[in-house]
Amino acid sequence: MSRFVVDVSTVLRMAEQRTVVSGSHVVLAPTLLRSQTLSALHERVHTGQLPADEARARLEWIWRQPIRLLGDAVLRRRAWDIAERMGWADTYTAEYVALTQLQADAFVTLDAVLAHDIRELVPTAPFDALS
């Protein structure tokens, strides 16, 4: 069984393609994923990139997925330290990296620059590893 942390870019693609995650995988994300997916899909509606009914359907699909959301004090402290180490002003991305360090085998992101930047902190996996 593999444990993957997924970020908002990954979850949005999962929703767009209705990707079914292999039953042999556990999918994790920080609790902030809820707000990030809501905001990202609302932004796409606001800018005319996506009809509101499709955005809502994708949100409902995302919320039905077996993604375990975590955000305890240990994760928050680790995220703070990672953001400091990486020189990041905010801790959002650091939460995904921290969760990967603490509980997962690899981090799945569509952001190639981020994957490169964190290569010494956590292993990453391609999107296709989920299915």
pTM as predicted: 0.95
pLDDT of residue 80: 98
**Burial, 25: exposed, middle or buried (Cβ in 10 Å; 0-12, 13-18, 19+)?**
middle
Average pLDDT (92-118) is 98
15 DSSP β-pair partners: none
Domains within the chain, CATH numbers bracketed: 2-125 (3.40.50.1010)
pLDDT of residue 46: 98
Average pLDDT, the chain: 97
Neighbour-count burial for 1-23, b at 16+ CB within 10 Å, e otherwise: eeebbbbbbbbbebbeeebebee
pLDDT tens per residue across span 45-96: 999 999 999 999 999 999 999 999 999 999 999 999 999 999 999 999 999 9
